[in-house]
Structure 1
Amino acid sequence: MKKVINNPGDVVEEMLEGIMRAHHGSFQKVEGVNGIVKKELKDKVAVVTGGGSGHEPLFFGVVGDGLADGVAIGNVFAAPTPNTVQEVAKTVDSGKGVLFIYGNYAGDVLNFDMAAELLEFEDVQTTTVKVTDDVVSAPLERKEDRRGIAGDIFVIKVAGAAAEKGLSLEEVTAVSQKANEHTYSIGVALSPGTIPDSGEPTFTLADDEIELGMGIHGEPGMERTKLMPADELTNQLMEKLLDESQLTSDDEVSVLINGLGSTTLMELFIVNRKVAQILDEKGIGIHDIDVNNYCTTQEMGGFSISLLELDDELKAYYDAPANAPYYKK
């Protein structure tokens, strides 16, 4: 796969240089680590997110007003170091505590937890919400083991709005965890992304194959099958989501159709058309629909569907204003 890079070992550092030149009015770089924070920080609970590079615009793209205050950035598909997380958290902390939000992957859990222990010695209070929206990645009885995918967007949105309102660390954490528990996602892979260092694909699929439920790093899904028409594919994915969420005609959702890298907006809107039809047929209210590329894996082909089950509290935080380079409300 052709990539527009220089030395593969420099991609993260050079990407960060480019991000800072493009968004110098909004961001400040954290000295000595691969971290970015808002230039204008507020006296409130701080929200910090992060993860491996290669999923852009996550995670830096949701640093902004009403969203995350800072991001810890790892190497490609690798968790940020504990020191990076620690320094970002110290930079954004106003004394009211820091909430960590990140996808539930072993490396991220280990390094964010280590950072939290180090921050405790520096009197920085932290809490954590691990995003676990991928319904295929573990059965319902082990929901806490599930992976985080594009549902990060919903959880960060709610957390950022709650923090802006002036809630305490405990309150922001609680409503963010509620958002996570109300978020259901499923993805499908059509083709792999490639790792800049090696040029190797993250997984392999035959030209006529897709994998339902595959994770964003190539983690196994629920079924490898032949490519099918968009409506048939969307029906299968939505059947799994609706079975998992147990949504009824009394419920209302926000919808996110997330592209994984190379799938075109044309295709994503075709999928969205069918998702909306299915929800309408079930009598499930649609509060909002977002079709975009947020959580990608380089040039991976495919998409995910996320549903956020709303109540009055979550709807208010979801609708609150937000402004970041790659997310606005």
Structure 2
Amino acid sequence: MSLTLIAILGVLSIVVVTAFSKRLGLAAPLALVVVGIGLSYLPGTPDIELEPELILAGVLPPLLYSAAVDMPGQDFRRNLKAISGLAVVLVVLTTLGAGALFHQVLPGIEWPAAFALGAVISPTDAVAATSIGKKLGLPPRVVTMLEGEGLVNDASSLVLLRSAVAAIASSVSIWSVAGNFVRSVVIAVVVGAVVGMVMVRVRAALRDPMLSTAISFAVPFISFLPAEELHASGVLAVVVTGLVIGREGPRRIAARDRWVESMNWRTIAFLMESGIFLLMGLSLKPLTDSVQDDGRSIGHAIAIGVLAAVAVVLLRLLFVVPLVAMIR
């Protein structure tokens, strides 16, 4: 099956599943995962494997930038303490708790590798969380906190993941991890703010919706790459750039240019987000095949996954319940 045909079938599947999900009142991201799982077991479906670097550097920056631009700056600042707690403190606690769990249930896994695995599962997905939250009728402020958390928690988990991976090869102290985290955040904020201010002025000077939208497609990567080269969080730099442009854009960029950009970015973000969930489902069969090839039990692997999910949910409840009570 050619790559072009796979892409066409993927887009058609995304549109059909999303349309039916809206009619049935289902969360489209979860429905896409289920459909992807079903498609992965159909005869002739190829095993699709994407390089992690492609997702990290090619998909994540545009998605976070699109969400950050649409995030109201006033709401973000109003809930900054809660968002920081969810996106930083909770991610750290989840990484430590999940790492301790993996160290106990997976024989032979060392602490750094266990913490690396914990960092992978520690951040929540903003799209699925807010989609379900809105359907459940959560208060707008809670939904805003979930959206803000989704913008920043990826950066926290990636910094922890890099520290854990570095600890696998050599000893790393907790102070070096903390120092690296602070340094990464500071550099990312500076890079993101500078890129955001420069890009707002460049786009304002163009005075052409087509040119302004075209350059906006490059903005996430213009912010991401320098931060990564400085060994900082490129993801956080992209988020800061999006917040700056979202705040300064209405003052400097023409309304027509912003409207055209918004419509294009909504379509791109929709296809990227939906495609990721569909690929998550499609990757299930190759994962089960890999487990079986290693001579391991599928049931045991599922049990570990369920146990990890329950642990993450419990840790989140223990953190979020008092947080929401404090806010109210």
TM superposition score normalised by structure 1: 0.27
| Higher RCO (CA < 8 A, seq sep 6+) | 2
Larger Rg: 2
Q: Identify, as 1 or 2, the structure richer in strand.
A: 1
Q: Identify, as 1 or 2, the structure richer in helix.
A: 2
